[in-house]
A and B are shown apart, each in its own frame.
Chain A
């Protein structure tokens, strides 16, 4: 039995029936990482205690104990989520040697659910990037073609699932950092509604946009994972009380009678025509499944990326102020305190991080605040209103996740603006705080394409219904890179 091609749900069933042990599954994942990671650089570090934890789950299960909904499932975590005792760097040199002093909400909930935390995955430094090339620890490669980027910033987690190292991994999405690498690496990626999953123990990029979510092979697995990690947490003051938004354990695979919107602004110029063709074929598949397809308008869509690249660096410049080289991580001493700060940060941060900190400092500074930051917040209101209007007429919105398939490593590395344009279809969901999911829907030149599905706040169930119906009728998600 090749356990590495199992979905999380299938693995759970085999673990429950005794056909598979947590130890054997964890061992297989560790071996797959051992043999494949050098080529792909998806994992930065593997847990030394994973096998012991897996054995303990097997023992407890044999005794008939309640071992939890994710018992024995190996999970990869993006390197910006704190796990007590683990190295924790956010892909940055400035946190080299830093160790998590407590379990963040994700680690707490996964451990409680019986999951095996198997290791931390590579990422763009502080989640700033769309290609995972901005990691201090080297780029991650796309398993479909190792000369291509896997997308980013959660590229390590996307590849960990795509390459079959683990059935599930977690990422964080501030402007597309789960959905876009999911699209480019050929897996499912879910960004939940803002506030659905606690950010306690997640290193902040932009606090009003960040949200944690899973990478999986199937939509059903994404739903199972969301149920395990979601929920109110008093330690995150933006965490939502989730009454009436429960995800049913069985997802209805039907879009009969649903209305799905196609925003005309998302299918305009800038998109690879071959990507458009593949995405439109997916739209037609859902129409054949009984959905009504309706063209809609999101009139301010063309301003979303500009608003995003003011708001996100502004919040980042403030959040990254805590890295002073004194309390943890990289330290470079100077003549006085000011010089120590400047040297530590100048040497410890990479180019893209410095670029965004300076951008944020500039747009927040006196004299520029109104023209940039305040203006962007007003445009964010308009973008939110566009979605509120659209969801009066449609149940969900369909679009491409990314305007192109994966590009060559190095191609956009020195051109920040062209890299930012890779997020053009994904940033809107973060600005509007709505949930979004990318589902594999075909290939262009041998590289995966993702269909993005967007829904109303806290209506992840609609995403799952649309996505699961699509996967039930197609087999793109069962294809694996060789």
Chain B
């Protein structure tokens, strides 16, 4: 299985991963060889086989729809982990930008 540099860059973009130019060739080779190996599955006829879907048996699990408020200490610890903050607020870059056209 062959992957072009453009293929790798496209998959990297889908995966939100910045890949350095000098790493591309290695990923082309690695992804190609792994996907070449898993091609093996195509030997099997699975037309009448159901997909395996539930590792735990497939019963729905419900809970009461009640708000379980996080205690102050836990909240504090979560905030301490923030990469950037303003006061107690998580600081992030704008998701939408203004366009003037």
Contact = CB atoms under 8 A, between A and B. Distances in A.
22 contacts: A99-B81, A101-B78, A194-B55, A240-B56, A306-B37, A306-B40, A309-B37, A310-B38, A325-B83, A327-B83, A328-B81, A337-B94, A345-B17, A357-B17, A358-B15, A362-B14, A378-B49, A381-B49, A382-B46, A384-B52, A416-B30, A420-B34
Given A309-B38, A310-B38, A354-B19, A84 B55 contact: no
Interface string A324-344: 111111110100111111110
Given A101-B77, A325-B83, A336-B93, A359 B34 contact: yes
A377 B53 contact: yes
B56 A307 contact: no
Contacts of A377: 51-53
A378 B77 CA distance: 43
Given A238-B55, A337-B94, A417-B33, A102 B17 contact: no
Interface string B13-42: 111111110010011001101110111111
Interface residues on B, range: 35 or more
A101 B56 contact: no
B18 A381 contact: no
A336 B97 contact: yes
Given A345-B18, A354-B12, A378-B50, 17 more contacts: A102-B74, A208-B55, A306-B39, A306-B41, A324-B16, A326-B83, A326-B92, A328-B81, A329-B83, A341-B16, A342-B12, A354-B17, A359-B35, A365-B14, A371-B42, A381-B49, A382-B44
Contacts of B90: 326-327
Contacts, number: 169
B41 A238 contact: no
B41 to A, nearest CB: 5
B41 A379 contact: yes
Contacts of A346: 12, 17-20
A237 interface: yes
A355 interface: yes
Interface of B: 8, 11-20, 23, 26-27, 30-31, 33-35, 37-44, 46, 49-53, 55-57, 61, 63, 74, 77-78, 80-84, 90, 92-95, 97
Nearest to A323: B16
Nearest to B47: A378
Which 6 residue pairs of A and B lie closest in terms of their CB atoms, listed nearest first? A346-B18, A238-B56, A331-B83, A380-B52, A377-B51, A328-B81
Contacts of A195: 55-57
Given A101-B77, A306-B37, A358-B15, A234 B46 contact: no
Contacts of B94: 336-337
Contacts of A433: 55-56
A359 B36 CA distance: 12
A85 B55 CA distance: 32
Contacts of A338: 16
Contact of B27 (A328, A345, A358): A358
A14 interface: no
A272 B44 CA distance: 28
B78 A358 contact: no
A371 B38 CA distance: 10
Given A238-B55, A326-B92, A382-B46, A345 B74 contact: no
Given A309-B37, A343-B18, A337 B93 contact: yes
A417 B34 contact: yes
B63 to A, nearest CB: 7
Interface in A293-320: 300, 302-303, 305-307, 309-310, 317
Interface in A123-164: none
With most chain A CB atoms within 10 A of its CB, the pick from B52, B56, B84, B97 is: B52
B83 A309 contact: no
Interface in A192-244: 194-195, 208-209, 234, 237-240
A331 B46 CA distance: 44
A25 interface: no
B18 A99 contact: no
B33 A194 contact: no
Contact of B51 (A359, A378, A420): A378
A367 to B, nearest CB: 12
